[in-house]
Amino acid sequence: MRDRPLILGGLIVFLALVTFPVWYNAAAGTSSRPPQLKLPAGQKECVAPVAFMKTSHMQLLIDWREGAVRNNVRTFTAYNGKTYNVSLTNTCLDCHGVQARAGQADFCGRCHDYAGVTPKCWNCHNDRPRN
């Protein structure tokens, strides 16, 4: 009988520890959910399959840049035969939307903030895409 307060106390400590992640996130106003990305309306495909884009878009952009700046390669033929202009703002952001980049993040920036990366591209590539 005299163990009752001890057991109860132990239970409370146990519950507090087990639910820690839940109320910690609630208190900090953060969440462990992945970022909610806003995809372009009415578009189905990216310039490469989405699984590739998720992991390798930075490499693709570097290839685009080096091709354009060093070899004047200005068009890109995609896996599905479609061709695109090689341009960070006029192609990627024209489709993904003005809100996509850093600062007004609902795509690139939203994911980069979550992942803790800060690409410096926008320092220069800050012209408005067409849309």
Residue 78's region, left for phi above 0, alpha for psi from -120 to 50, else beta, is beta
What CA dihedral angle connects 55, 103, 95 and 66, to 10 degrees? -60
> Within its chain, how far is the Cα of 61 from the centroid?
15
Positions in 85-124 near ligand HEC (CB under 6 A) = 86-88, 91-92, 95-96, 100, 107-108, 111-112, 115, 117, 119-121, 123-124
Tell me, what amino acid is at 23?
W
Which residue in 61, 98, 99, 102 binds ligand HEC (CB under 6 A)? 61
Residues that bind ligand HEC (CB under 6 A): 37, 39-40, 43-47, 50, 53-54, 57-58, 60-61, 64-65, 68-69, 84, 86-88, 91-92, 95-96, 100, 107-108, 111-112, 115, 117, 119-121, 123-125
